[in-house]
Structure formats: C-alpha cells, structure tokens
Structure 1
Amino acid sequence: MPRPLRVFLVAAEESGDRLGAPLMRALRSMRPEVEFTGVGGAQMTAQGITPPFPIDELSIMGFTSIPAKLPNILRRIRQTAAAVAAAKPDVLVIIDSPDFTHRVARRVRTAMPDLPIVDYVSPSVWAWRPGRAKAMRAYVDHVLALLPFEPEAHRRLGGPACTYVGHPMIERIAELRPNTDEARRREASPPVLLVMPGSRRGELKYMLPIFEQTVAQVAATVGPLEVVIAAVPRLAAGIESVVASWRVRPRLAVTQEDRDAAFRAARAALVKSGTGTLELALAGVPMVASYKGSAIEAFIARRLVKVPTVILANLVLGEKVVPEFLQEDAEPGRMAAALAPLLGDTAERTRQVEAFNRLDAIMEIGTARPSDRAAEIVLKAAEG
C-alpha cells in the first residue's frame, strides 16, 4: 500500500487559520488518506494538525510592534522550517502572513530544494514592494490568489505561476446576504449601523475613539440608530468596557451567528480598512472605510504604497466606490458626513449598492468553491 499523502501547512495568524481549515477539509474529501502536520490555530487544529506553538504569539500590529517580538518570531521561523524538514512532506503550503511564512519557505527551499511550495494568498505585490513578486520565484512554485486581479499582477511583475481560486468568504455568501424578512429590516427604522473597528488590540486603540465620535455625529444628523459592533471573542470584554461610555450605546456581535445576522440586517457600515470592506460589499452593505495607525506607520506607508486606494472592495471593483479616510483624514466630522447619506434613500447609497451587484461576475461567485480549487492545485503540486 502506498504511503499517505503528507501535507505540511503553515498559518501564522487567525486569517490564515480560517483559510487553512477549509483547505484541509477539501484535501481530505479528495484524498481521504491524507496526513496533515503544521502550524495553525484552533480551526486547523480541529482538522487534524498539532501546532508546536500557539500562533497568538506571532500576531503583531504595525511596524512599531515588530522589534519587541522579533527575537521570538525569528526563533519560531527556524523551528517551523526544521519541523518541515523533519516531517518530509510531499508539499508545503504557506498561508498568508508573508513576513513569517515566506521566511520559512526560503529556509525550506534551501534545505529541501525539490519540495513543492504553494503560497495560499498572494502578498500585496500590486500595492507595495512589487519586487517581491519576482523574488518569490526562488522559493514559491505556485500562488493561490484570493483576488481576481492578482494573476495578472504576478504575470506583469515576473512572479511565480498564479491562479485565482477565489476568496474564502465566497463560500459564506448565503450567511452574509439577507432573506426577504432581513431585507425588510434593512429598510426599517431605526436603521442598523454595523461598526467594524478591527480584530487587533492596536487597531482598536486608534479606531474606537474615532468611530465613537463618528457614530455620535451621525446619530445627531439622522436620528436614532441601532449600532452593532462586530467583535472577535478574545477582545469582546475590552471593547465592552470601552463602549460603555459611548453616547450612542452599541451592542456587540461576538459569535459568528450574531455577526452574520448583523451583516444581513445592516443598512450601512463604518469599517476599518481591510478584508471587512470586501465582506460588506459582498453582503450588499454600503460603507465608509477608515484607518489610523501610528505616525511612523503613516510615514512608511506613504512611501511604499503604490495604489490609488487601499480599500479592498474598491480594488476588486476597479473604481473608488467606497469613501476612505486614512490617517489624518480619519476625522469624525468628515466621516460622519460621508456615512449619514448611506442610511437614507440617496444617490450615494445607490451608487455603492449597484457597484456591489457586479461582484458576483467579477469574483466568479456561483462556480467552484475556492477551497476546492485551492485543494486541486495543492494536490497537483504534491503529486508532481
């Protein structure tokens, strides 16, 4: 009997863990005898890996957070690369978090030059540090892209082979979009305003005060609001203590079920820039997006970022549909002025909704599941 297929996966943050688990399920459905080893979080652990260390210790937010954690991160990179070599897998799948996973991949390529390496999630080479694309060819054999414009970006920049497999949130479209009753709630009063301040402590430090002032000014303009904050469980208690003093008191949506229900009911949203903007767009929720970090982060970002917008929904749509307020532009008065019209029957609201309706075609929603597409490419790489 031939030995089982061995797949080593490396995810260094929760975002990667959420990608890795469905990929593991898809691989198992195609190859029931597959064996998994690797690094990941709770969801990947539930699918069969035993991580050698908790990935929480790798989570960082912003350039200024890196120095304090660097020695431990470097130690974990060496440990992970050694674990790959010891496992002797048929394929290595690195997932997101390129500052960690790509360093692992480079070490593994040196030690095991014939091992296929698949990168699940392209780094943002189209936004900053475009030279990374060409450099990746030395240690990545295939990139699995979440965004439809990324294969062309890698081709243009001389990167590895790259295939659009689809964003994982496509698999959750039914949970994000309202049924008939929920669609009526979107139109009812008081309107539901969904607030998404981020999933890291550093993000909350900057975003919550700005969002509180913005919400208060919107309420002063449009009247009563039902405000719901999407909060990751580990940060819920801290958020609850902060928002207890908000002038417009929100409720928290912490469980996945409550969060999904808030997406389906929301009339509009106030969101930290990131993946959440695309999730809201797929749910058909008009929004205002914002980001604020430290002064040094802003200084570095202005010199590195090469795209006209940092809002993921705008990038996929190919136009600036979602208003964005970044760094010093993240001023509550300006944000409130952009957000208030989205709660009414206005041209601003209609423009966003009509743009979001184009996403099904752009992102190939309704075709193969992203995790299945990804699994097929991983298996092809593993089997040579």
Structure 2
Amino acid sequence: MTERPFIAFLIAGEESGDHLGARVMEAMSDRLGGQVRFVGVGGDRMEAHGMTSLFPMHEIAYHGISAIIVNAHRIVAKMRKTAQAVIEADPDVLVIIDCPGFNLGVARRVRKRKPTIPIVEYVSPTVWVWRPGRARWISGFVDHVLAILPFEPDVHRRLGGPPCTYVGHPLMQRLDRLRPTGSERPNLGDADRPTLLVLPGSRRNEIKRLTEPFGQALDLLIRQYGDIEVVLPAVARLEAEIRERTAAWPVQPEIIVGEEAKYAAFRRAHVALAASGTVTLELALAGVPMAVAYRVDPFVKPFKYALSRVNSFVLPNLITGTNEIPEFLDSDSTPENLAGALLPLLSDSKERRDQLDAFSRLDALMALDNGTPSGLAADIVLGTAGVAPRESSEASKPIPARS
C-alpha cells in the first residue's frame, strides 16, 4: 500500500453548487490537516480552494427541458468525459453537488465501471415534488444523500431512497447578511414609501416568462396603493436582458447587481414579489413577506400535475407546514392575483403578521444540533469514504490510499 493524500472528486454545475463545494472543501481540508487533493468540475470559489476544473462549470448548467433536448448530445458527451475522469483519478470519494440531471448520469456510469468509489450526493433531487421513483433508483449508486431541507430524510426513508442526513441549509450560515440591524429596515409606518423587491428568477427562461406579468402586477398595485420603491436584484450575466424587458414597466425598478447589493436590499425591503426557488427561503429568513409565482416550461406541462402531490411549491411553506405565503402557478399567476396578494402585505394586516409568524419558526425548524452545515457535510463525506478526521498531532501525515 502506497501513501498519498486523500483525493476527493467534486462536481458542481451551478453557482449555488460552487458555494456549497467551496465550503465543504474548506471543511474537509481543515479536518484532514490539508492532506487532501481536490479534482473535478467547479467554479471560481472551488478553484480558489485548490481545484482546477476539467472544463468551465457553465458547460453543464442547462435548465429546462427545451434546453436539455437541444443540447442533449453535448450533455451526454460531457457526462462520459467526466465519468472517465473520475475513473482515471480513482478518488477516495466522489461528491456530486446538485445539478442532478448531469451528476446522476455521471454517478451511475462511475458506479457501473468502478463500484469501489464511494458516492455522496450533496442536495437531494426534489423527489418530494415529482418523479418520486428517483429516490429508489439513486439508492442503487449513491451511498449517502446530504439534504439541505429538514423534511427530506423522512421523504427518502418513505420512498426507499439512499441513507439521507439533513446537514443544514447553507443560508443558515448567512443570517447576519440577510437580517437587518439598527435602522436598515424602517417600520412600514415610518418609511417614506415601502420598498418592494422584485425577483423574477436567475435563469433566462424564468425571467422571460415572469417579467411581463410582474410588471403588470406592479402597475395595478401602484394604482391601488400609491408610491412604492421597487428594487430588482439581478445576476450580472442577465442584467442587460432584464433592463430591456423592464423598460416598458410603468415604474422603473432600481436594478442592482452583485451579492452585497442584493443582501443590502433584502435587509431594507418590506415586501417582495418573487419567482419560486431558493430566493423565497432567503426572503423568509430575512423577514420579508412575499407573494410567489411560477410558470412551467411549456415542454413540461405534465410537471404541473406532479405539484399536486405536495401542498405547496414554496420552500418556506414546505418547511413550516403552512401555506401562509400566497403562491400562484401558471394561469393563476395573473397580474390581478399577484397585485391582490401583495396589497395587504403593505400594511400591518393579518396576512403580513401570519407570514412573519411563520418565518419566526424557521430558525428552530432548520437548526442543527451542533456544528455547521459545511462541517457536518464534510464529516459525512469522510465517513462514507471510511476515513476519520485527522487528530491535530497527525495532521502532517498522509492518508493511506484505498486498497
């Protein structure tokens, strides 16, 4: 048996996955006394922690059935290339981070060709919404799922999925950036005018489907309520398109770019109109009442009916077990419905108080018994690989290779 550093192969395909990957890499390196080598696919944050990405992360980040169909040949080619790279690296563990359409394809190929490589999936597929059969399917080649939503382990147990552990949501490590201090968020009654965040999504197809109804909803809302400050946080790569699509809005939003500006806006906002997604959990943790909309890709209309298996498609509603946040799917996401749901949130109404009460329960529901999300994730990754964290006195020793 030769000695070598611990080798971890990680694959992330989106910005959120790059965040998760960088944090778990940092925690793994800490636990292994730096005796670890990272290989795989990731973004700037993962590369800053020592990984050289096989190819640019965005090359596997296709969203929506239409985009996947058009680029199917490219996706399959990248799956094969990535699986081959895993086989050649022969890592002590493979960690696939979100991006299930791509990553599960890679993991299945790796398990078939090299079954001795442990595989950990970080972020569960949404088997609680649709395609529940995936839970049992992935149990054939995934050894452990790291869940970021507290109800997911029970879902996997019920559906026959792999071992699954709730490791905490990464947003719980950013609460100081989400929550206002001092006078950052004036009381509604004290503000010159309320601040409304508009969040039509971070993907081009989402923005295309929601920008028009969101603009029309704002028109109706301002006619009924009066002057409102409208702020729209945008990702840099879509800023120009968002400016073009919002040019005809009756009120021009203040378009801001960058993470710091986004979180500053969350800390001063009073209400939000948002596309369904992780941003709804960010808003809830920031204490911003909201109305939520989602319009399904026309190529996957059957997906709409799968949503009937759950009481909500909004993350804070699912975590709290309530439906305090109004949500509108497809034909229900009309400007009239959206404006009607937002109007009572601009005053000290029962609707606003009920949302804030539900939000106040999130910390307890999402808390870990101890440790941090990235630390617990790192511990499970190492445990799945059969390696215990190094004691400080042994930090300089290399970890034996897998026999």
TM-score if structure 1 supplies the norm length? 0.96
- The 2-side partners of 1:4 and 1:16 are apart by 24
- The 2-side partners of 1:300 and 1:76 are apart by 26
- SS at the partner of 1:48? coil
Counterpart position of 1:308 = 311
8 Å contact kept, 2:213–2:334: yes
- SS at the partner of 1:24? helix
- Which of 360, 365, 371 is matched with 2:363 structurally? 360
- SS at the partner of 1:184? coil
Describe how 1:73-112 pairs up with structure 2 within 5 A.
73-112=75-114
- Which amino acid in 1 is paired with 2:170? P
**Bigger Rg, structure 1 or 2:** 2
Q: Displacement of 1:303 after TM fit?
A: 4.5
Counterpart position of 1:277 = 280
- Which amino acid in 2 is paired with 1:109? R
Larger relative contact order (C-alpha < 8 A, sep ≥ 6)? 2
8 Å contact kept, 1:298–1:327: no
Counterpart position of 2:28 = 27
Do residues 203 (structure 1) and 206 (structure 2) align?
yes
Do residues 124 (structure 1) and 126 (structure 2) align?
yes
- Which amino acid in 2 is paired with 1:175? R
- Which amino acid in 2 is paired with 1:126? W
- The 1-side partners of 2:325 and 2:307 are apart by 22
Q: Displacement of 1:305 after TM fit?
A: 5.4
- Which amino acid in 2 is paired with 1:282? L
- Which of 18, 35, 41 is matched with 1:39 structurally? 41
- The 2-side partners of 1:377 and 1:105 are apart by 18
Q: Displacement of 1:87 after TM fit?
A: 0.8
State the number of aligned residues. 384
Do residues 56 (structure 1) and 81 (structure 2) align?
no
- Which amino acid in 2 is paired with 1:100? F
Cα deviation code 1:310-343 (max 9, x no counterpart): 1111111111111001101110011100011111
- The 2-side partners of 1:30 and 1:253 are apart by 38
- The 1-side partners of 2:47 and 2:219 are apart by 42
Counterpart position of 1:264 = 267
Do residues 8 (structure 1) and 9 (structure 2) align?
yes
8 Å contact kept, 1:287–1:322: yes
- The 2-side partners of 1:235 and 1:308 are apart by 32
- Which amino acid in 2 is paired with 1:176? L
- SS at the partner of 2:375? helix
8 Å contact kept, 2:61–2:99: no
Change in Cα spacing, 1:185 to 1:52, as seen in structure 2 (3 Å) is farther
Change in Cα spacing, 1:306 to 1:215, as seen in structure 2 (3 Å) is same
Counterpart position of 2:226 = 223
- Which amino acid in 2 is paired with 1:14? E
Counterpart position of 2:332 = 329
- Structure showing the higher helix proportion among its residues: 1
- Which amino acid in 2 is paired with 1:356? F
Do residues 163 (structure 1) and 157 (structure 2) align?
no
- The 1-side partners of 2:306 and 2:368 are apart by 35
Do residues 291 (structure 1) and 302 (structure 2) align?
no
8 Å contact kept, 1:197–1:203: yes
Q: Displacement of 1:366 after TM fit?
A: 8.6
- The 2-side partners of 1:86 and 1:235 are apart by 37
Cα deviation code 1:11-68 (max 9, x no counterpart): 1222211211111111112121211000112221222211122222322232222211
- The 2-side partners of 1:183 and 1:252 are apart by 19
- SS at the partner of 1:325? strand
- The 2-side partners of 1:162 and 1:377 are apart by 10
- SS at the partner of 2:238? helix
8 Å contact kept, 2:296–2:304: no
Change in Cα spacing, 1:356 to 1:304, as seen in structure 2 (3 Å) is closer
- The 1-side partners of 2:13 and 2:218 are apart by 34
- Which amino acid in 2 is paired with 1:12? G
- The 2-side partners of 1:119 and 1:90 are apart by 15
TM-score if structure 2 supplies the norm length? 0.92
- SS at the partner of 1:219? helix
- Which amino acid in 2 is paired with 1:247? P
- Which amino acid in 1 is paired with 2:83? A
Counterpart position of 2:398 = none
- The 2-side partners of 1:223 and 1:295 are apart by 35
- SS at the partner of 2:272? strand
- The 1-side partners of 2:179 and 2:163 are apart by 33
8 Å contact kept, 1:170–1:365: no
Describe how 1:361-376 pairs up with structure 2 within 5 A.
361-364=364-367, 367-376=370-379
Question: Aligned-residue CA RMSD in angstroms?
Answer: 1.6
- Which of 106, 115, 119 is matched with 1:113 structurally? 115
Counterpart position of 1:246 = 249
8 Å contact kept, 2:185–2:269: no
8 Å contact kept, 1:129–1:304: no
Q: Displacement of 1:111 after TM fit?
A: 1.4
Judge which range, 237-246 or 213-222, deviates more. 237-246
- The 1-side partners of 2:215 and 2:323 are apart by 25
Q: Percent identity?
A: 49
8 Å contact kept, 1:4–1:35: yes
Q: Displacement of 1:76 after TM fit?
A: 0.3
- The 1-side partners of 2:94 and 2:383 are apart by 12
